[in-house]
Chains A and B, each alone.
Chain A
Amino acid sequence: MMQIDCPYCGPRAQVEFAYERTLDSIVTLDMPAEEAVSRLYARANPRGLDDELWRHSFGCRQWLVLRRHRVSHAIVSITEYAP
């Protein structure tokens, strides 16, 4: 179980957090429909680092961006989400 160092709450157990999606699959409201659909259904899904959107669902309820390694689970960086 990972420990996620929430910028607001400090280090917390992973069970307080929920994974949402990768940063590159966020579909903004002004995106053309075709682009929106293709973003929704395409993931790089690397065996390595990716930028992921998580929510501290049972803590401060904020949205966070984790740059995280999917094999080692090392969290390279963590910041509040900003569009």
Chain B
Amino acid sequence: MKRYSALALLKAGLTGQRGWDRAWRDPEPKKSYDVIIIGGGGHGLSTAYYLAKVHGIRNIAVLEKGWIGGGNTGRNTTIVRSNYRQKPLHDLFDFALNLWEGMSDELNYNVMFSPRGALFLGHSDSDMTMLAQRGDALRCDGIDAELLSRDQVQKLIPLLDMSASARFPIHGGMTQRRGGTARHDAVAWGYARAADALGVDVIQKCEVTGFTMDGGRVTGVETNRGSIGAGRVGICVAGNSGPVAAMAGLKLPIEAQTLQAFVTEPIKPMIDTVIMSQSLHCYISQSDKGGIVLGGDPDQFPSYAQRGLPARIEKAAAEAIALVPALSRLRMVRCWSGTTDMSFDGSPIISGLPVDNLYLNGGWCYGGFKATPASGWCYAHLLATGASHALAAPFAFDRFARGATIDEAGVGFMPQLR
């Protein structure tokens, strides 16, 4: 594989951009693999990469029914942060954040991770106390968090409505300076290219249609391109976990919901950090191309339609304008939908299943992108060793039956309330 570098780019510029290798091969499926990962999103591809890189397993296939990165990897708002209140969550996501920091070099692919800060606004004293509580939980666990005064927030984002009469007056905020955004497609492509270089077969247009079983044990998968045997099979299809698990006769504590996002026409830099809110479910950032990327509430009912409720977009727009009034004249150029795997406590599942040799990585709700490297790391550990990585141990499938849920929002088992 030809390495990417400024020098290589310069040379290519002088030779008409000829001579670049394919970023990944287009292999035919083999008869069998040591590990098959179902799902060629960021999580599945990073799992394959770490299986090969960390655990030395090379006989791996990633099966993708469409094109890699075409699911939620390519549909999210690209926010990366680790500032969750619950310890198992912030430990996992901070492990991810550490990997994000070195990802471009690790993969030799610029994923444009840009730690420009992830700011939560507080709109009342009680919001500020909740933010402080979260910040304190993070700081006591060695994770960066910083409370900002009203003035500091204003300095950071001069276009915020700081008036006392604002519908959501701004009392201050909490920022994680290591947080930021990354280029979502590049994450899938970077992992695919790096995994491919280690011998992983990334097989697109290969849809899994069933599992081959032997006495309650999974021995491989059926696909539209034939049967493929496998030592272990890892489901990694967040958004579609239910239907895939159903092929093995399983029901999951997961429901699919639509989450929409939208982007404005590109404009010159106006927002330099990621803006979120303690009270509002609205998030705002500006992409490197200049578009303001916005998101809001999920659609709050089960759907795979990838077609959302206009009311959700309208609400997110109204909230964004309430925070940053100058956004009002900007125009939405495109909105899109992802199908989220809404788990019943709001936290992911990285776990074995009641069927031998079958594993699940899913239930990421609307927050999976930022976990990509840690998710892959931990899932690779599980698929390589059969045992949970310490960071993933709390995210076991049986935690719901045991009562050991990890409920960041404290709203219980109804995903539409999250």
Contacts and interface: CB of A to CB of B under 8 A. Distances in A.
Per the CB under 8 Å rule, do A and B touch in the complex? yes
Interface of A: 1, 14-15, 18-22, 37-38, 40-47, 50, 52, 54, 70-73
Given A38-B401, A45-B254, A19 B301 contact: yes
A46 B243 contact: yes
Contacts of A52: 301-302
**Interface residue SS majority, chain B:** mixed
Interface stretch (B134-142, B227-235, B303-311, B380-388): B303-311
B334 to A, nearest CB: 19
Interface in B202-251: 240-243, 246, 251
Nearest to A42: B251
Interface residues of B, number: 27
Contact of A45 (B242, B305, B311, B416): B242
A70 B309 contact: no
Nearest to A68: B302
A1 B253 contact: no
A52 to B, nearest CB: 7
Nearest to B412: A40
Contact of A37 (B243, B305, B307, B401): B401
Nearest to B257: A19
A46 B251 contact: no
Contact of A43 (B254, B301, B304, B401): B254
B19 to A, nearest CB: 43
A2 to B, nearest CB: 8
Nearest to B403: A37
Contact of A46 (B246, B301, B413): B246
Given A21-B414, A46-B246, A1 B309 contact: yes
A1 B255 contact: no
A44 B251 contact: yes
A36 to B, nearest CB: 11
Contacts of A37: 400-401
A72 B414 CA distance: 23
A27 to B, nearest CB: 10
A37 B303 CA distance: 24
Nearest to A21: B414
B120 interface: no
8 contacts: A18-B300, A38-B401, A41-B413, A43-B242, A45-B255, A47-B243, A47-B304, A72-B305
Nearest to B242: A45
A1 B311 contact: yes
A41 B253 contact: yes
A52 B246 CA distance: 18
A46 B305 contact: no
B256 interface: yes
A72 B305 CA distance: 6
Given A1-B311, A45-B254, A40 B413 contact: yes
Given A14-B309, A70-B304, A44 B246 contact: yes
A52 B243 CA distance: 17
Given A43-B242, A45-B251, A45-B252, 18 more contacts: A15-B311, A18-B300, A19-B301, A20-B414, A37-B400, A41-B400, A41-B413, A43-B251, A44-B242, A45-B242, A45-B246, A45-B254, A46-B242, A52-B302, A70-B303, A70-B305, A73-B303, A73-B305
B349 to A, nearest CB: 11
Contacts of B302: 19, 22, 45, 50, 52, 70
A14 B243 CA distance: 25
A5 to B, nearest CB: 16
A40 B412 CA distance: 11
B305 A43 contact: no
A18 to B, nearest CB: 8
A22 B252 CA distance: 13
Nearest to B307: A73
B168 interface: no
4 nearest interchain CB pairs? Answer: A45-B242, A19-B301, A42-B251, A41-B253
A24 B240 CA distance: 20
B344 interface: yes
Contacts of B310: 1
A48 to B, nearest CB: 9
